[in-house]
Amino acid sequence: MEGLESLLSLPNTLQNAAVITIILAFVGYLFTFMINRMMARRADRLRLVDQRLNQFYGPLYVATVAGNIAYKSLLAKQGKTQCHPIRDEDLKEWILWMKTIFMPLNDVRENIIIENAHLIIEEQMPQCLLDFVTHVVGYKALMAKWAEGDYAERRSIIGWPPEFDIYVERSYKALKADQSRLLHNFAWRYFHDRNGQERKSSR
């Protein structure tokens, strides 16, 4: 009788084992799916951060730092703490620096803002970026007067936006921190390395 009962209970045991196997396989699949989905989102986020750094905030930050260094160097050379008022004896050198250093850097930053405006972090264009572009436009009009020999005006009538430098530096550093966090995440490294190995094996 015991042998018969064992034989009769065998299908149930096998059925239970099969159910458990299916459940474990489903749980494993679900876990893998969720991890891959999370890592894919992280990869998309990293690509966006890289794009913002490479095409917008990185070049904008470098040009801004270079401009600030050049501006402070000019002030130190002239023994001043601020550029205005621009004295008659400083006018020739001021025009030279504007034409060869400051305006080229301004043009670089203006082009970045206009051509890559879709990469800004905020939903709306920050006012300081708009103010910067209008500041540069003011200098373009001023330099057109200089080209005609009219030096009555020496600075753009649209002042430099003080929030611009703060915004550029803060945004650049925040994106670099975000990039570092994404790159050094353990799960992301595992996902990235595994995908790299799969790509190599498929070649």
The 10s digit of each residue's pLDDT in 79-93 is: 888 888 888 999 999
Say if residues 50 and 179 touch (Cβ distance below 8 Å).
yes
User: Quick check: 29 pLDDT over 70?
Assistant: no
Q: What is the pTM of this model?
A: 0.74
**pLDDT score recorded for residue 4:** 44
User: Quick check: 186 pLDDT over 50?
Assistant: no
DSSP 126-176: -HHHHHHHHHHHHHHHHHHHHHTT--S--S-SS---THHHHHHHHHHHHHH
Domain ranges of the chain: 48-179
User: Quick check: 196 pLDDT over 60?
Assistant: no
| pLDDT tens digits for range 95-104 | 999 999 999 9
Q: Which of 56-59's residues contact partners 24+ apart within 8 Å by CB, and which partners?
A: 56/112, 56/116, 56/119, 56/120, 57/119, 57/168, 57/171, 57/172, 57/175, 58/172, 59/108, 59/112
- What one-letter code names the amino acid at 102? F
